[in-house]
Amino acid sequence: MSNLLAARSQMAVSLAFHIIFAEVGIAMPLMMTIAEWRWLRTSDGVYLELAKRWAKGTGILFAVGAVSGTVLSFELGLLWPTFMRHAGAIIGMPFSLEGFAFFTEAIFLGVYLYGWDRISPRAHLTAGALVAVSGALSGIFVVIANAWMNAPAGFRVVDGQPVDVDPLAAMANPAALSQTIHMTIAAYAATGLAVAGIHAHVLRRRSGAALSEAMARFHRAALTVSLLLGIPAAILQPISGDLSARFVGRWQPVKLASMEGQFESVAGAPLRIGGWPNVRSEQTRFALEIPRALSLLAFHDPNAVVRGLKEFPRDEWPPVPVVHVAFQVMVALGSTMALVAIWAAGVALRRKRLHYEATDRRLLLGLTIIAPFGFLATEAGWFVTEVGRQPWIVFGVLKTRDAVTPMPGLIVPFLAVTCLYCSLGIVVVWLLWRQIVRTSGMERSR
C-alpha cells in the first residue's frame, strides 16, 4: 500500500467512524430536550424517563465522538502538513468557532446530566436547548471548512502561496450553504428515524401481553418524539439534495459527470438510475435513463448542457465507478426514508395527532427496516463528496498527492487507528445494547 493510499484510507476510516457520532451529537440533544419539554408541559412521567435515558445515551456517544474527533484533528496536521500550511490561515476561523461550540456543548451537557435536582426545571431545559444549538453549530462550522475544500474562496495564489486571505469570505464560500443544510438535515433524519426504528421494533415484536402498558406507553412516547424530528427532516432531505446538485453542476462539473456516469457532453442529459460506468469503454451500461431529467434537476432547464467526463483531462477524473455507485446508494436510501416518512405522516394526519400504536404493524416494520438507512446514506454521501473531489484536496488549487506527508510507513498508523476504532465501536455497541435491553425489560425490574 502506497503512503498516499494509506493516508487517504486512514482519513476515510476516521471520518466514517466519527460522522456517526457527529450526527447523533447534532440530533439527540434536541430529542432529549423535546422529551423534557413535553414532560414539563404535560407532567407525564414517561417523558421524564425518556429524557433521562436519552441523556445517558447522548453522554456515551458524545464521549466517543470527542475521542474520534480529536484523532481527526491530529490527522489533518500529521498526514497532510502541506494542506494545513496552505489552508490553515484560511479555514482556521471555522475550526476555531467549532472549538467554541464544542466546549459550550460539553459544558452544558454536564449541567444537563448532573443538574436534574440541582437547578430549576426551566434552567435545566435551557441547558438542554443550549446543548442542542451548540451541537448543531459545531457540525455546521466543520462542514463549512469542508465546503471550502470543494469551492475555495477568500484568498489569491501568488507564487504558489495564498495571499490576501479573507477568512469571512472563505466561510461564505459557494458550497457552504448547500453543504451545511444538507448535512444538518441528514443528521436529524438519520438519528430521528434510527431511534424511531428501535422503538418501532420493540412495539412490533412485543405487541401482545409480553409488553406491559407502562412499557408500551414508554415506547410509544419515544416513537412519537423521534418521528417528530425524523419525519420532516427525511421529507426535506431530497429538497436539500436538489440544492447540493445545483451547486455541483455549476462548480464541480467533473464530479456531477462521475455521479451520473456521464462521459459525453449532452444537451438535455438523462438521469440514470443504477448502471455501471465502464471507464475503458467510456460508457455506462445497464442503467434506467429518464430523458432530460439530469439537466432539469441540476440546472432547472431540461435542455441545459451537462458536461461529460471527456471534456476534462483523464488524470483529473475521480474513481468514476466508486462515485457513481455511492451516489446511487445515497439517493436510493434517502428516497426510501422520505417515502416511509410520508407514510408515517399520513397515518398521523388521519388521526389528527402524532400517535402510533402496536397495531400499526406494517408501518412499524417499515420504520424498523429503514432504521440504519440514514447513517448508511450519510456514509455514501461522504464518499461522493470526498472521492468525487479527487485528485484534489482543495479543488482546483492543491492536489492530494502533493499534500500528503513524506513520512514513510503510514500503513502502521492506519492499522493502529483502525484497530482503535474497532475497539471503540465494540465498547459503544455493548454500552448502548445494555441501555436498550434495560429499556426493553424495564417492566421486569419493577
pLDDT digit string, tens, across residues 377-420: 999 999 999 999 999 999 988 999 999 988 888 888 888 888 88
Q: In the beta sheet, which residues pair with residue 246?
A: none
What single letter denotes the amino acid at residue 46?
A: V
Once rounded to an integer, what is the mean pLDDT over residues 197-201? 88
pLDDT bin (cut points 50, 70, 90) of residue 358 is low
Q: What is the pLDDT of residue 442?
A: 44
Q: pLDDT tens digits for 217-261?
A: 888 888 999 999 999 999 999 888 888 888 998 899 999 999 999
Q: pLDDT tens digits for 416-426?
A: 888 888 888 88
Once rounded to an integer, what is the mean pLDDT over residues 427-442? 67
Q: Is residue 266 helix, strand or coil?
A: strand
Residues above pLDDT 90, as percent of the chain: 46
Q: What is the pLDDT of residue 188?
A: 95
Q: What is the pLDDT of residue 143?
A: 93
**CB-based contact 134:33 (threshold 8 Å):** no
Give CA angle at 431 (430, 432), nearest 5°: 95
Higher pLDDT, 316 or 216: 316
- 57 pLDDT more than 80: yes
Contact partners, residue 144, CB within 8 Å, separation at least 6: 91, 94, 171, 173, 176, 179, 180
Indicate the burial class of 302 (C-beta count within 10 angstroms; 0-12, 13-18, 19 or more): middle
Q: What is the pLDDT of residue 359?
A: 63
Once rounded to an integer, what is the mean pLDDT over residues 346-366? 77
Once rounded to an integer, what is the mean pLDDT over residues 271-292? 89
pLDDT bin (cut points 50, 70, 90) of residue 139 is very high
pLDDT bin (cut points 50, 70, 90) of residue 446 is very low
pLDDT bin (cut points 50, 70, 90) of residue 356 is low
**Cell numbers found for residue 418:** 483502525
Q: What is the pLDDT of residue 445?
A: 38
Q: What is the pLDDT of residue 136?
A: 94
- 209 pLDDT more than 80: no
CA distance 333 to 373: 6
Indicate the burial class of 165 (C-beta count within 10 angstroms; 0-12, 13-18, 19 or more): middle
For the chain, the domains span: 229-403
Q: What is the pLDDT of residue 211?
A: 58
Q: What is the pLDDT of residue 208?
A: 53
Once rounded to an integer, what is the mean pLDDT over residues 304-331? 92
Contact partners, residue 114, CB within 8 Å, separation at least 6: none
pLDDT bin (cut points 50, 70, 90) of residue 432 is confident
pLDDT bin (cut points 50, 70, 90) of residue 157 is confident
Q: pLDDT tens digits for 115-134?
A: 888 899 899 999 999 999 99
In this prediction the pTM is: 0.91
* DSSP E strands, 134-238: 156-158, 161-163
Once rounded to an integer, what is the mean pLDDT over residues 192-196? 93
Identify the weakest region by mean pLDDT among 110-114, 210-214, 336-340: 210-214
- 443 pLDDT more than 50: no
CA distance 59 to 355: 28
pLDDT bin (cut points 50, 70, 90) of residue 207 is low
